[in-house]
Amino acid sequence: MRIALILAGLAVTLVAHSQEIYRWVDKDGVVHYSDQPDSPDAKLIDVIESNSYEAADAAPAASDGPGDADEPDDDSSVSPYSSFSIVSPAPDQVFFGADAVVNVTADLQGTLQPDHTVAFFLNGNRKESDALNTDYDGLARGTYFLRASILDGNGKPVITSQQTTFHVRQPSINSPQSPQAPPKPKPPKPAPKPTPKPAAR
């Protein structure tokens, strides 16, 4: 019995260090394990390495396949656009009057894809457009924050512009809508010509 325990311990040691293990039973009924077939009755048995299960558990975390939720697909990881920005209005531009029309224009480096749309966000309010420009009118006096995004077919942003700010103010005497140039000074009047004296007789 003691010999069997020793052999069993040897078998465990061999299993931990080698994949090819042979097993046989001698004439006395003792089971033997070895990495060499020392008996014609020895049979090769399959042994799983002790660290194989760790590798299997770690495999999903390192997976780069399409089923990995943390990694984007190859098609979606490459944006078709290199840059996207708002070129009008200029930062902190001022518009006067409630009837002022704010023309918004964006610049996109790349061709707008057929299933993509442009969305403008004015103070968080979304306005979609098929073009890279839109107009806002009837805006109340105040400060406005504007940005734009290109949305894919699922409504997810593909690229987003920087945020810009503009202001709408009411015209007043101190800040008229169209400041007038100061009047040009009038040229001085010519001096009156002296009256000629009558000639002496």
**pLDDT for the residue 97:** 84
* pLDDT at 59 > cutoff 80: no
Average pLDDT of the chain is 75
Can you give the pLDDT at residue 188?
Answer: 73
The least confident of 13-22, 39-48, 93-102, 116-125 is: 13-22
Give the global pTM: 0.49
* Confidence at 53, pLDDT banded by 50, 70, 90: very low
| Averaged pLDDT for residues 46-73 | 44
CA distance 95 to 132: 21
155 has pLDDT over 60: yes
Task: Choose among 12, 56, 51: nearest CA to 31.
Answer: 12
- Domain boundaries in the chain? 2-51, 80-169
80-169: CATH number: 2.60.40.10
Confidence of residue 16 (pLDDT cuts 50, 70, 90): very low
End-to-end CA distance of the chain: 172
pLDDT grade, residue 22 (50/70/90)? confident
pLDDT category of residue 163 using cuts at 50, 70 and 90 = very high
b/e per residue, 129-159, with b = 16+ CB within 10 A?
Answer: eeebebebeebeeeebebbbbbbeeeeeebb
Quick: pLDDT tens for 101-137.
999 999 999 899 999 999 999 999 999 988 999 999 9
Q: What is the spatial distance between Cα 143 and Cα 82, in angstroms, rounded to a whole number?
A: 30
Helix (H, G, I), strand (E, B) or coil at 5: helix
Q: Which tokens sit at 99?
A: 């009837």
- d(C-alpha 108, C-alpha 25), whole Å: 78
pLDDT above 90 as % of the chain: 37
